[in-house]
Structure 1
Amino acid sequence: MRFLRKSLDSDSRDLITSAGMAFALRGAGAVLAFGFNVAIGRVFGAEGTGLFFTALAMVVILSAISRLGLDNAMLRLIAASAAIPDWARVNGVFRIGMRSATLASLVLAAALLGLAAPLSERLFDTPELTRPMQLMSLGIVTFSLMMLLSESLKGLSRIPQAMLVSGVLWPLFGILLVWPLAQAFGPDGASLTYVGATGAAALCGWLMWRHLRNDTPADTAVAPELWSSARPLWAMAIITTGLLPWAPILLLGIWGSASETGLLGVSTRVANLVAFFLVAVNNVLAPRFAALYQMDETARIRQLARRFALLTALAASPLLLVLIFAGDVVLALFGPEFTDGTTILAILAVGQAFNAATGSVGVLLMMTGNERAVRNGALLAAAIVLVASVVLIPTLGAIGAAIAAAGAVIAMNLFSVFMVRRKLGFLVIPWIR
């Protein structure tokens, strides 16, 4: 704490206040998401939950592809343009990004709808997966739009609105919809709930953007810069938001049972809570890093990055201990059959704790123009998760999938720490000088 007392200034206190608000919203979203996952587990059981998470894995991976790397590219360019301010560039980035991602997501949604049956029967050897996958295909569009609207709002430094869209509203709508849709449509209700919840959150995000935007005509000449930033981020986004968290679930769906997939899916969602404060802090720091880099304030970036790395490490510690030593109690909330996943949960929680302890390294690299470094780290992590999954899942099942996922997260964060030191000249980890 001495480190924090010595380095606090007015700007830092403002950021900590913003981070506190983001933490509160992220906490509310985490509670709601936890409640939504509990509802899915309670209503549909381990096998039904496994089918839901397998279909969801396909949707999230395809959504990452359809967003074309625009998430952080739009955030960075909107934040930099709004800081000047240049509303023509802001509107140009938003228009190009949203139209491109909408078209791409519609194409992939149609492809998944058409291929759901052969994938379910031949790849997963689970014909009953066909219907959930078909119904959830539209989620590629709704989830993609929801995420890009959230990133655009962050670029305008509207952190609470952004976090409401991507972190609070969709699980809230999900909780409200899951029971009536389950009653009306049975097992199909889980997929319909996800599509309806993410679609409603995306609509709210669109209304927020329309309220905040400036009517200056869009400057579409920003397109080359947008795509130059998005291209190296595309592979990174597919890997970090698609393959790393979801490939083990998808591969376990191929080589394991639906019940095992349900255990891994629930444990993954619970373990992600360990790093939820890091996600809240990233929402605050990402536009600030972009603006400071635009003003050549590297010393200030270093100070903020190290300080908040310490905060995220401290915040993650209590929940890590709970999930390691009382994971069975937490998993019992989903139903008695989920308590078999305590070892899986502990492994995944350690990986997320390491993620929190290294701070905002990935965001820092992306917001300072080092997208290729993030892409290379993501490629390394992808290779690790795929090779480890292929080797471990056939023999260890869900535990092997958890080891593969946690190992990839640790490797990617270590690589990012090294690249921050190499590119920006400092170590983010605060207890190492």
Structure 2
Amino acid sequence: MINRILPPLNDAHFKELFRGSGIAFIFKIAGLLLSYIFTLLITRMYGADTMGLFALSITILTILAMLGRLGFDTALVRFVAEYSSQGRMDLVREVYIKALRIVLPFCFLLSVLFFFSSSYVADNIFHKNHLSPYLKIISLVIVPMAMIFMNSEGLRGLRKIKEHAFLQDISILLFAAVMLTFSFFIAQDNHAPLIAYIISIAGVAGLSVLLWIKHANISSFSNGNNLKSVNLLTVSLPMLLTSSLFLVMWWTDTIMLGIFRTEGEVGIYSVALKIATLTSITLFSINTIAAPKFAEFYGKGDMNSLEKIIKQSSKLIFWSSLIIILCIFLFPSSILGLFGASFKAGIYALLFLSFGQFINAASGSVGWILQMTGRQKACQNITLLAAAMNIVLNALLIPKYGINGAAVASMICTIFWNLTSVLYIRSHFHITTLYLPGL
């Protein structure tokens, strides 16, 4: 059975994929455990309403920081992987500096604008005036949040997988959980979870800068290669649009629940979503190391190796995800009950979301394959259709069916996006990313 799942370990590229994704998997598991611990701390100490306000705030912060990065974080993975594999560290450093010169001022402007418009957003969009202080708090860390992703994705392109995984999966939650635990014994304020998270983001941003400087030798930067910022934007902006549409697809349900329903329902749904995402943990882990490999093979024109690494990763993702979804389908009530009795109301939402995530995992690394092989516009168009579908379905289903309607909308759009991407890759590269045993 093991031999059917795993290719021979004397395959150099699979060994790198397996070792790198194994490291990432350990960090992902640790990050998920910390995420669940942090969620448990909030739900047990502050309740579902505070969890809902926290989840809504972090969702908005994630969207703002993504917009501020202008797609350069995703572009950095591609450029850094390609240039570093050619030994051109001068180009690696130059593309990084040029990206920062655009991203940092834009993020700062975004931060100022959102700070002063937070009351309007809370009152007129979400109809929750008590959300305004939360929005003001998150506006303060749009720049640090963007820096964390820029630096961690740059490190990912350099194949510094441990550093990348620590920054994105563990660091913020680790420091935030420690601070929240201590703060509970000092003052039990409902803003405490968000404040702990925000302080953690600021500290991790500084750490990310130090790690990038260490591994990229940024101090020896030379501006003699004439890389044009407009050329970088040509690649990054389609990636920004794709990333924006991804967030619309993944976070529309949470945002629209915040608009149409109570913060308590948002809290229950956010917990169900966290659990369902566990189904795709191997996909996320393998993507960490596989994305630079896709860019490397495509850049060299080595399509045979590209196909081989895609098929190897898809098989590994399928079998590991199957085990996880079986556990969720067998024990949904017990799993949700860990967070409190009120969270058992999310059983059906959990099942719908988990099935969508299983199809996401079984389809393979379709998004990264498209973006690392110059097909970012195709990825953008597919994601645009799925995002539009998600908005319409959520608008129709949430007012009547609440969190279950949001989960069904998310499931349908996730399946549509993945299977459409699978068909596109099959038609253009003659590579099947979807793994089904026996086929």
Common fold by TM > 0.5: yes
Q: Residue 345 of structure 2: which of 330, 340, 359 is its match?
A: 340
Q: Residue 196 of structure 1: which of 195, 199, 205 is its match?
A: 199
Q: With structure 2 as the length reference, what TM-score do the two structures score?
A: 0.94
CA RMSD of superposed structures (Å): 1.7
**Counterpart for residue 11 of structure 1:** 13
How do 1:75-154 residues align onto structure 2 when only pairs under 5 Å count?
75-154=77-156
Letter in 2 for 1:123: I
CA contact (8 A) 2:7 2:312 kept: no
How do 1:34-53 residues align onto structure 2 when only pairs under 5 Å count?
34-53=36-55
Q: In structure 2, what is the Cα distance between the partners aligned to 1:339 and 1:134?
A: 32
Letter in 2 for 1:116: S
**Counterpart for residue 239 of structure 1:** 245
Q: In structure 2, what is the Cα distance between the partners aligned to 1:4 and 1:317?
A: 12
Q: Residue 248 of structure 1: which of 225, 244, 253 is its match?
A: 253
Cα pair distance change 1:246/1:220, threshold 3 Å: farther
1:221 Cα offset (Å): 1.6
Question: What is the total number of aligned residue pairs between the two structures?
Answer: 432
Q: Residue 404 of structure 2: which of 380, 394, 399 is its match?
A: 399
Cα pair distance change 1:192/1:5, threshold 3 Å: closer
CA contact (8 A) 1:57 1:247 kept: no
Q: Secondary structure at the match of 1:114?
A: helix
1:78 Cα offset (Å): 0.8
**Counterpart for residue 310 of structure 2:** 305
Confirm or deny that 1:418 pairs with 2:423: yes
Confirm or deny that 1:211 pairs with 2:214: yes
Q: Secondary structure at the match of 1:26?
A: helix
1:366 Cα offset (Å): 0.8
Letter in 1 for 2:166: L
CA contact (8 A) 2:254 2:270 kept: yes
Q: In structure 2, what is the Cα distance between the partners aligned to 1:6 and 1:351?
A: 27
Confirm or deny that 1:186 pairs with 2:189: yes
Confirm or deny that 1:358 pairs with 2:363: yes
Confirm or deny that 1:286 pairs with 2:295: no
Of 324-333 and 260-269, deviating more is: 324-333
**Counterpart for residue 69 of structure 1:** 71
Unaligned runs of 5+ in 2: none
Cα pair distance change 1:395/1:115, threshold 3 Å: same
Q: In structure 2, what is the Cα distance between the partners aligned to 1:224 and 1:423?
A: 28
Partner deviation per Cα, 1:371-410 (whole Å, 9 max, x = no partner): 1111111101111110000110111011111111222211
Partner deviation per Cα, 1:87-141 (whole Å, 9 max, x = no partner): 2210111112223222222222222211221221222221111111111222322
Q: In structure 1, what is the Cα distance between the partners aligned to 2:8 and 2:388?
A: 39
Unaligned runs of 5+ in 1: none
Q: Secondary structure at the match of 2:87?
A: coil
Letter in 2 for 1:105: C
Q: Secondary structure at the match of 1:131?
A: helix
1:185 Cα offset (Å): 6.4
Partner deviation per Cα, 1:251-271 (whole Å, 9 max, x = no partner): 111111111111111111221
1:3 Cα offset (Å): 4.5
CA contact (8 A) 1:377 1:415 kept: yes
Q: Secondary structure at the match of 1:99?
A: helix
Q: In structure 2, what is the Cα distance between the partners aligned to 1:249 and 1:73?
A: 27
Q: With structure 1 as the length reference, what TM-score do the two structures score?
A: 0.95
How do 1:377-396 residues align onto structure 2 when only pairs under 5 Å count?
377-396=382-401
CA contact (8 A) 1:89 1:222 kept: no
Q: In structure 1, what is the Cα distance between the partners aligned to 2:90 and 2:334?
A: 53
Q: In structure 2, what is the Cα distance between the partners aligned to 1:5 and 1:382?
A: 35
CA contact (8 A) 1:73 1:230 kept: yes
Letter in 2 for 1:131: P
**Counterpart for residue 59 of structure 1:** 61
**Counterpart for residue 235 of structure 2:** 229
**Counterpart for residue 373 of structure 2:** 368
Q: Residue 328 of structure 1: which of 315, 328, 333 is its match?
A: 333
Q: In structure 2, what is the Cα distance between the partners aligned to 1:314 and 1:198?
A: 34
Q: Secondary structure at the match of 1:369?
A: coil
